């Protein structure tokens, strides 16, 4: 009886569809840093027309490349709140979070204030 049960188990196991664990999609993290204003304005629905146009294009291109916020993309939003003296601390905070990409809207923010706290990282692309 045990042989028959074992044989039946093998047949059932062999005929059952194989289930594989899906490989998790890599979660990308982008930090966007603006010099002033509330960090919540960093979105496609901003009330400011210029920002809205920029972020609509930015997020549309990310989606075209397969990165969708809330699915495989995390957007971390930061603001210097209009205080240049705080840019260096903000730069340290953002770098400390270790995002895949850092997008800084203006040169003073990108340079991390007068001491240039971001210049030692390979994440900074100026252009």
CATH number, domain of 124, equals: 3.40.50.2300
Q: Chunk the chain into consecutive blocks of 10 residues (it has 127) and report each block's average pLDDT, rounded to whole numbers.
A: 45 43 72 89 86 90 93 94 88 92 75 49 43
Structure confidence at residue 67 (pLDDT): 93
For residue 59, being part of any structural domain is answered with: yes
Structure confidence at residue 126 (pLDDT): 43
For residue 116, being part of any structural domain is answered with: yes
For residue 12, being part of any structural domain is answered with: no
For residue 9, being part of any structural domain is answered with: no
pTM above 0.75, yes or no: no
For residue 61, being part of any structural domain is answered with: yes
Total count of domains within the chain: 1
For residue 84, being part of any structural domain is answered with: yes
For residue 29, being part of any structural domain is answered with: yes
- Between the alpha carbon of residue 69 and those of residues 12, 26, 34, the distances in Å are 42, 12, 19
């Amino acid at each position: 009886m045990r042989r028959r049960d074992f044989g039946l188990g093998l047949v059932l196991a062999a005929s059952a569809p194989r289930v594989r664990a899906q490989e998790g999609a890599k979660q990308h993290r982008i930090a966007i840093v603006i010099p002033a204003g509330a960090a919540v304005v960093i979105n496609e629905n901003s009330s400011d027309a210029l920002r809205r146009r920029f972020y609509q294009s930015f997020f549309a291109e990310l989606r075209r490349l397969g990165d969708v916020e809330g699915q495989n993309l995390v957007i971390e939003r930061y603001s210097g709140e209009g205080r240049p003296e705080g840019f260096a601390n903000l730069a340290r905070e953002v770098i400390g979070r270790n995002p895949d990409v850092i997008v800084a809207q203006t040169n003073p923010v990108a340079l991390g204030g007068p001491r240039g706290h971001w210049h030692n990282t390979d994440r900074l692309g100026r252009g």
